[in-house]
Structure 1
Amino acid sequence: MNISITGILLGLGGKCLLDWALVFLQRSHICRGFLGVFAVSLAAADTVLALSVAAVHAQAGGYISLPGLTLTRYHECLLVQIFGQLCSALQWPVALAAALDHLLAVTRSPPPLAGGARPAARVLVTGLLWYLAAAHVFLLSDFIPVMEDVPHNQINQCWVSHSSPVLQVTAALLLALCCGALHAGRGEPLSTELSSKGPIAEESRAHSGRDVARQAARIFLSTWAPFLLLLAVLALLPVGLPAHLALNAGWLCFLNSLLIAAILCAVRPASWTTQGPAAVPPDSFSEWTFQLVSTGEDQT
């Protein structure tokens, strides 16, 4: 699809505002999860791209001369196209890395690193994913830039690709959530397994897989139903979402909640029966509070 450079700047500006606003909203726990660390790196990358495109576009001649380098409007389009390819390449790796991070938190698996080493490990993984995505785009993919055959100062629009991995990741995780809910719903109440195993068993026995699955799905949908509707509309549009805008902090927040819901449904029987209610990863949008039928109290 072809988008005017002004439209690209407006889109990047709005994306940067959204990114930094959500990073600020989650500042108290931004380093407690992989998605928070990645959101900071994404906001920084979006800001650099927006400032670079704006700086070139603001010049009357359509170029900027730097020591040993001249940036023109060809480079504006090239940067946007490369960044779009990077965002598309990162969708699945980011989702898988976040799923592993959440799974370790929910199951309370002993982490190999403790204290301040865990945030450092998340930063390392974030940098590694950006590096591998860049290597894929430049060395392994069949990416070919699309440029107008006109002088650089006459370029007023750029060709950008649309992103399909966003919808693919969403569909796959929603399917996983449904499968997890169905699997949990077929389980027997925990009271048959935990008749005399202490206080945690007394609380856990009131939970059946069906209860946890229903409550997890309700919590997720009560927050994100409008966003799911928006994604459904985007899937039906012939144009689609520009690739350089598809990976954003809002999408990462949605991904965070969806992963929590899917993992809670999938691993609850194994983790809750032995350790009690799971330690839910931080979420600024959905409140993962479950009702204990036996006590009438909420327990996260």
Structure 2
Amino acid sequence: MIISIASIRLGLGGKCLLDWALVFLQRKHIHKSFLAVFGVSLAVIDTVLTLFVTILHVHADGHVILLGLKLTRYHVCLLVQILGQVCHALQWPIVVVAGLDHFFTVTRRLQPTTGRTRLFVCLFASGLLWFLAALYVFLLSGFVPVMEDVSHNQIHQCWVFHTTQILQVATFLLLTLGCAVLHAGCSTRLLNYHPLKNQITDRSRAHSRRDVVHQALHIFLNTWAPLLFLLAVFLLLPVGIPAYLGLNAVWLCFLNSLLIAVVLCAVSQIQQDLAAAPPDSFCEWTFQCSSAEED
């Protein structure tokens, strides 16, 4: 897709403001999760790129001399395309790392670590992901920039790649969450119709796990239903999401809540004793489990 440099600057500026607004909203528990720390790194990178694009776009000559290098509007298009490819490559690794972070938190395996140690690990993981994604884009992905064959003074728009990774990630995690709900419901029905040796205890545990799964789904949908509707619209309509806008603070917050819901549902099927849910500025993960006799 072809987008004007003015629209790119406007999109990056809005994304940057939104990034920092959500960083401020999560300031109390930034050091407690990988996604919050990664969100800060994303806000910094978006800010630097926004300032660079703005300076080159408003400059009368269409170029700036920085450290002896002549930077032109060619570099605006090039950097936007590179950032888009890096964000595209980061989607699934972020899901994996954040999912493991939430899993270890819910299963109490990260409890002994101090806040400073956890922050250092999250910073290291964020930096490593950015580095590996950039390395992949430049060396392994076969990325070829698309540039207009005109003078840099005549460049007023850029070719921008679009991304489908957001829809793929959301669809996969929502299907996983749906499977957890179906599994919880089916396991409860099987225990109701097949007597076991420790029937009361097993039925009580099954009902408790089912309650956790159903309440987790309810909490998630109550908060993020509008965004799910918007994603469904993007999925049905032939509208591409610019790759440089695909990785943003709202998506990270949505991904954080969705991964928490998936991890809570998955862990509740394995063990009954859950630790406190990972920090979330949008969903309040509190559960009230009923017993089998009440049902």
TM-score by length of 1: 0.89
Q: Is the 8 A contact 1:81 1:145 kept in 2?
A: yes
Structure 2: distance between partners of 1:177 and 1:269: 12
Partner of 1:289: 286
- Aligned Cα root-mean-square deviation (Å): 2.1
Partner of 1:144: 144
- When residues 144 and 76 of structure 1 are mapped into structure 2, their CA distance, relative to the original with a 3 A threshold, is same
Structure 2: distance between partners of 1:115 and 1:31: 7
List structure 1 runs of 4+ shifted beyond 6 angstroms.
none
Q: Deviations over 1:142-199 (max 9, x none)?
A: 111101111100101000000111111111111111111222223348xx5885xxxx
Q: Counterparts in 2 of 1:5-16, with a 5 A limit?
A: 5-16=5-16
Structure 2: distance between partners of 1:268 and 1:80: 42
Q: Counterparts in 2 of 1:149-168, with a 5 A limit?
A: 149-168=149-168
For the pair 1:238 / 2:235, whether they are aligned, the reply is: no
For the pair 1:131 / 2:157, whether they are aligned, the reply is: no
Structure 2: distance between partners of 1:44 and 1:282: 22
Q: CA deviation at 1:114?
A: 3.8
Q: Is the 8 A contact 1:35 1:98 kept in 2?
A: yes
Q: Counterparts in 2 of 1:248-267, with a 5 A limit?
A: 248-267=248-267
Structure 1: distance between partners of 2:228 and 2:207: 28
What SS does the aligned partner of 2:80 have?
A: helix
TM-score by length of 2: 0.91
What SS does the aligned partner of 1:3 have?
A: strand
Extract unaligned runs of 5+ from structure 1: 196-200, 295-300
Extract unaligned runs of 5+ from structure 2: 192-197
Considering Cα pairs closer than 8 Å and 6+ residues apart, tell me whether 1 or 2 has the greater RCO: 2
Q: Deviations over 1:48-89 (max 9, x none)?
A: 000001111111010001232000000000010000001000
What SS does the aligned partner of 2:275 have?
A: coil
For the pair 1:269 / 2:269, whether they are aligned, the reply is: yes
Structure 1: distance between partners of 2:185 and 2:59: 61
Match of 2:277 among 264, 276, 280: 280
Q: Counterparts in 2 of 1:51-66, with a 5 A limit?
A: 51-66=51-66
Partner of 2:89: 89
Name the amino acid aligned to 1:283: D
The aligned length equals 284
- When residues 111 and 293 of structure 1 are mapped into structure 2, their CA distance, relative to the original with a 3 A threshold, is closer
Partner of 2:194: none
- With 230-239 and 23-32 compared, the bigger mean Cα shift is at 230-239
Partner of 1:30: 30
Structure 2: distance between partners of 1:207 and 1:106: 20
- When residues 27 and 165 of structure 1 are mapped into structure 2, their CA distance, relative to the original with a 3 A threshold, is same
Q: Is the 8 A contact 1:206 1:292 kept in 2?
A: no
- When residues 26 and 115 of structure 1 are mapped into structure 2, their CA distance, relative to the original with a 3 A threshold, is closer
Structure 1: distance between partners of 2:19 and 2:117: 25
Q: Is the 8 A contact 1:186 1:210 kept in 2?
A: no
Q: Is the 8 A contact 2:107 2:274 kept in 1?
A: no
Structure 1: distance between partners of 2:25 and 2:117: 24
Structure 2: distance between partners of 1:135 and 1:112: 34
Name the amino acid aligned to 1:117: T
What SS does the aligned partner of 2:22 have?
A: helix
